[in-house]
Amino acid sequence: MTSVLILTAGYGEGHNAAARGLREGFVETGVSAEVLDLFGPAYGEPYERSRRDYIRVVNERPWLWAGIYQVLDRVPFLGVFASFFRRLLGEFVRVLREKRPEVVVSVYPAYGYLFEKAVVLAGIPRPRFVTVVTDSITVNSVWYRCGSDVFLVPNEDTANVMLAAGLEREQVVVSGFPVSPRFTDEIAARVALGQGDRPKVLFMINGQSARAISLVERLLREDQVELTVTVGKDAVLGEELQQMAGRMGRSLGVWGWVTDVPGLIRSHHLLIGKAGGAMVQETLAAHTPMLITQILPGQEEGNARLLVQNGCGAVCPTNEAVVQTMAQLFENGAIGWNRMMGHTVRLGRPDAARETARWILKMRGDAKSAAGVKEGAFGVREV
């Protein structure tokens, strides 16, 4: 029997990052936890194509995704997609019968619309059901129009948005985003930058390769920082950047697919990248300020707002804005950077996965409802 079943989907890295972090948190407590993406076995190759199409749309036609996002926020989700979800429901039933979990944790909203029916069809005792919301502030209503014993949200700003939307206070708990527990392992105290120090800047490239090449060229030409870039699986882009740096006679670190994200972000003073849910929460957990170069309309707007309104980062829509903002942060003994870094320390929750795992296990063993957890469950005020 699986004690905890964590359900995810491959539409955006934030869902999978949350699932992995939670699993690590449960494993450290000695509890069996399994991560499954039920869309794969339910739909096979059409699912893989839809994932590729999703990535293509968000990178090449963000305006189209913005429209889809708005529609999802307004339509009766299950009513519109009921026929599509039949195969997913069947897979959900099969897994519940096989695994018989005590707790089901969903980090992707579709599962919440199928859970109650799946439990009935599976003919098993009802597990506790927890929804982990991976977006901040601009939370699509598809997340909370489903049923759930409790909604765990990454920050109080997001909790306030959901409460204003009509959820009951006992339904919403601020848990933090469950980044990998490795963000707390052997984390060295970051040395504050002073006059004359050379900042280390990490640029995690995600789409918009033409703009990325131009920005890297500009930063190398300025030669004010020690620059590292990640290119994921785009080996062609990585080779092009290395050749450009060689022609300019500049030093440039180029990484492909990164496995040690906590260590890489922690080792740099500043992160440049896209306002994805996982990336924003990971930079906060690493206590590293962020300059945002890309925002997916609707879905990622809240992530960017979270950083900006809490003084943890800045939005830079142009390469010139990146260069100017960076100069301001690091001038005069890096006063601006030190101030921004202090805000990330206050907002980041690097131990959220462990704390969330402990909270869920307490809920599992509690004879009362999930709402019985009182103030201080996560070391912060519960909303």
Cα atoms found within 13 Å of the Cα of residue 185, Cβ hemisphere only: 13
Structure tokens at 327: 């100069």
When mean pLDDT is compared over 253-262, 320-329, 364-373, the highest value belongs to 320-329
The pTM (predicted TM-score) of the whole model is 0.86
Q: How confident is the model at residue 283, as a pLDDT? A: 94
Report DSSP letters for 275-316, one per residue: --HHHHHHHHHTT--EEEEE--TTTTHHHHHHHHHTTSEEE-
Distance CA 261, CA 269 (A): 14
Mean pLDDT calculated for residue range 43-53: 89
Chain segment 272-323, per-residue pLDDT in tens: 999 988 899 999 999 999 999 999 888 899 999 999 999 999 999 999 999 9
- Of 20, 47, 44, 48, the residue nearest 34 (C-alpha): 20
Residue with tokens 């930063």: 219
* Element of type H or E holding 263: helix 261-266
Pairing of strands 33-36, 128-132: unpaired
Structure tokens at 344: 């990330």
Distance CA 17, CA 111 (A): 17
- Our CA angle for 212, 217, 221, nearest 5°, is 150
Q: Which residue has the higher pLDDT, 33 or 365?
A: 33
pLDDT tops 80 at residue 10: yes
Distance CA 383, CA 380 (A): 9
Mean pLDDT calculated for residue range 256-268: 87
Distance CA 371, CA 222 (A): 54
Count the Cβ atoms, other than its own, within 10 Å of residue 64.
12
Distance CA 14, CA 261 (A): 13
- Of 186, 127, 181, the residue nearest 7 (C-alpha): 127
CB contact burial 182-198 (16+ within 10 A = b; e otherwise)? bbbeeeeebeebeeeee
